[in-house]
């Protein structure tokens, strides 16, 4: 069949695309960047469009031509610099459902969420629910899938966050430790989507995709520590509920700067509401249970790569904060005392030029420190920091070469900062 996958290079979408392609289906992936999709999985076709821009049925029609099945694996956690929740999960999908009625689409597979109800506590769940209801009204042949916490060989969002928590050294800080969660293997999700696409599951049905057993978050994290090969925590610190609100507030603030933190208020509320489902309807339809957490982890043994990811994900905000503080601080210090800073190179240049160079360089330093805090610019800022460091060292080697052997190491100490910028640029790669 000819299948269009929305969110085609996302955490779930890319796995679904690979599985459907391997099963012989003609797959087209839809995402914001065709180049990213082509780089990640070049064996299928890719189209580039921001779903939030498709707000009417007519705007969807070009993407539905000759499509038999639509799989919606797209979504956004909450509003931010990159996402408009209502446009992505509600109005765009309502428009798509309407467009499907006038196209060749024969089936629509909606990957929704556990707890997607009209009266849910988060707009994320409410917008999912509105799209689900529009689907039920607008198309005859539909299937809605509601996965629990999805675990796979790769990680993103919530799955990346729990790996980060499990990699915390020595001790284990936890909030909402007793809230219950049911997981589902990414491989099980892709298998159920394939069955849905091929008509092996009944149309007009909703299925919860969850393992048989629910477990408290503290047990899940402890099991993931064991899976990663991280020593058991010497102590578990339970964070009070008020600290959760503070963390979520700060994460929401960063969301306006483009950082899609899994600690934002929506994720915290979803965890507080618990991630629970009932897989009995699915078992009756397909005849088998989905993998337990133990089966899921046994099927994808952790290696040093998983430990590196978990630990670097934990360190990433620290790396960004240190670089921001270093560059903003160095620029601010120079601007606070331009005369003292320019005196260092005054012997090689006229005083006016020396002062001008110091001011210009200090302003650039501050701007780069600010730029790395804005997520869309962060990687570019890292590369600019590397270039500027090389330029400073080149100019300094010409004007004041003696600083290379200065006991305080003003030149030598810039090299670790440059390496940190390079490492941060690598960690900041999202896909």
Weakest-pLDDT range from 123-127, 170-174, 343-347: 343-347
The pLDDT, as a whole number, for residue 347 is 65
DSSP string, 325-385: HHHHHHHHHHHHTHHHHHHTTTTTS-HHHHHHHHHHHHHHHHHHHHHTTSHHHHHHHHHHH
- Residue 310, pLDDT score: 93
Residue 88 · residue 76 · CB < 8 Å: yes
At residue 172 the predicted structure's pLDDT band, cuts being 50, 70 and 90, is: very high
pLDDT at 404: 82
C-beta atoms surrounding 99 within 10 Å: 22
Please answer whether residues 266 and 121 qualify as being in contact, where contact means their C-beta atoms are separated by less than 8 angstroms.
no
How does pLDDT run across 329-380, given as a tens digit for each residue? 999 998 988 887 777 766 667 777 878 888 999 999 999 999 999 999 999 9
- For residue 264, pLDDT beyond 70: yes
Comparison of pLDDT for 13 and 245, the residue scoring more = 13
Q: pLDDT: is 92 or 408 the higher one?
A: 92
Quote the pLDDT of residue 138.
Answer: 85
CA proximity to 144, closest of 204, 89, 88:
204
67 to each of 5, 63, 190, how far by Cα in Å? 10, 8, 19
Average pLDDT score over residue span 398-405:
82
Model pLDDT, residue 39 = 94
pLDDT tens readout for residues 74-92: 987 776 666 777 788 788 9
Model pTM above 0.85: yes
pLDDT at 26 over 80: yes
3-state secondary structure 159-210: HHHHHHHHCCCCEEEECCCCCEECEEEHHHHHHHHHHHHCCCCCCCEEEEEC
pLDDT of residue 48: 93
Count the residues in the chain: 431
Answer whether residue 391 shows pLDDT above 80: yes
Residue 130 burial (CB count, 10 A)? 18
Distance CA 108, CA 112 (A): 12
- C-alpha R_g of the chain: 25
Q: How far apart are CA 351 and CA 338, in angstroms?
A: 11
Q: Residue 297 corresponds to which tokens in the numbers above?
A: 């982890």
pLDDT value of position 343? 73
Residue 9 CA from chain centroid, whole number: 12
What is the dotted CATH code of the domain comprising 2-302?
3.40.50.720
The pLDDT value recorded for residue 81 is 62
Mean pLDDT of the chain: 90
Residue 348, pLDDT score: 64
Q: What is the pLDDT of residue 242?
A: 85
pLDDT bucket at 283, cuts 50 / 70 / 90: very high
Instruction: Give the percent of the chain with pLDDT over 90.
Output: 62
Distance CA 6, CA 110 (A): 10
**pLDDT tens digits along 210-235:** 999 999 999 999 999 999 999 999 99
To the nearest whole percent, how much of the chain has pLDDT over 70?
98
pLDDT tier, 132 (very low <50, low <70, confident <90, very high otherwise): very high
Q: Which one has a higher pLDDT value, 298 or 155?
A: 298
Strands of 212-292 (E only): list them: 215-216, 235-238
């Amino acid at each position: 069949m000819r299948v269009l996958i929305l969110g085609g290079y996302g955490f779930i979408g890319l796995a679904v695309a690979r599985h459907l392609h391997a099963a012989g289906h003609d797959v087209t992936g839809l995402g914001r960047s065709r180049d990213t999709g082509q780089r990640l999985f070049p064996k299928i076709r890719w189209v580039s469009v921001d779903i939030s821009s498709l707000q009417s049925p007519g705007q969807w029609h070009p993407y539905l031509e000759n499509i038999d099945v639509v799989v919606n694996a797209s979504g956004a956690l909450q509003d931010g610099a990159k996402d408009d929740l209502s446009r992505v999960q509600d109005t765009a999908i309502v428009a798509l459902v309407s467009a499907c009625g006038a196209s060749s689409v024969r089936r629509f597979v909606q990957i929704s969420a556990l707890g997607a109800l009209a009266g849910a506590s988060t707009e994320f769940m409410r917008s999912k629910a509105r799209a689900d209801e529009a689907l039920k009204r607008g198309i005859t042949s539909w299937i809605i899938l509601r996965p629990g916490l999805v675990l796979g060989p790769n990680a993103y969002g919530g799955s990346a966050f729990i790996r980060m928590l499990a990699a915390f050294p020595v001790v284990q800080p936890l909030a909402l430790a007793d809230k219950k969660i049911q997981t589902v293997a990414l491989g099980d999700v892709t298998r159920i989507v394939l069955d849905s696409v091929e008509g092996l599951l009944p149309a007009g049905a909703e299925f919860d995709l969850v393992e048989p057993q629910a477990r408290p978050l503290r047990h899940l994290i402890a099991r993931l520590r064991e899976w990663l090969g991280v020593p058991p925590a010497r102590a578990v610190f339970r964070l009070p509920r008020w600290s959760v609100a503070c963390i979520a507030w700060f994460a929401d603030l960063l969301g306006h700067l483009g950082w899609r933190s899994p600690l934002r208020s929506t994720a915290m509320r979803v965890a507080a509401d618990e991630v629970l489902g009932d897989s009995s309807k699915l078992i009756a339809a397909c005849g088998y249970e989905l993998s337990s957490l133990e089966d899921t982890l046994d099927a994808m043994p952790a290696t040093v790569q998983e430990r590196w990811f978990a630990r670097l994900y934990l360190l990433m905000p620290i790396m960004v904060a240190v670089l921001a503080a270093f560059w903003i601080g160095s620029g601010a210090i120079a601007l606070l005392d331009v005369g003292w800073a320019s005196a260092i190179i005054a012997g090689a240049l006229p005083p006016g030029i020396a002062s001008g160079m110091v001011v210009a360089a200090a302003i650039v330093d501050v701007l780069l420190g600010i730029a790395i805090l804005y997520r869309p610019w962060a990687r570019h800022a890292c590369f600019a920091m590397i270039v500027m460091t090389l330029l400073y060292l080149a100019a300094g080697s010409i004007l004041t070469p003696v600083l290379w052997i200065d006991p305080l190491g003003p030149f030598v100490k810039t090299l670790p900062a440059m390496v940190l910028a390079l490492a941060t640029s690598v960690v900041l790669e999202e896909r």
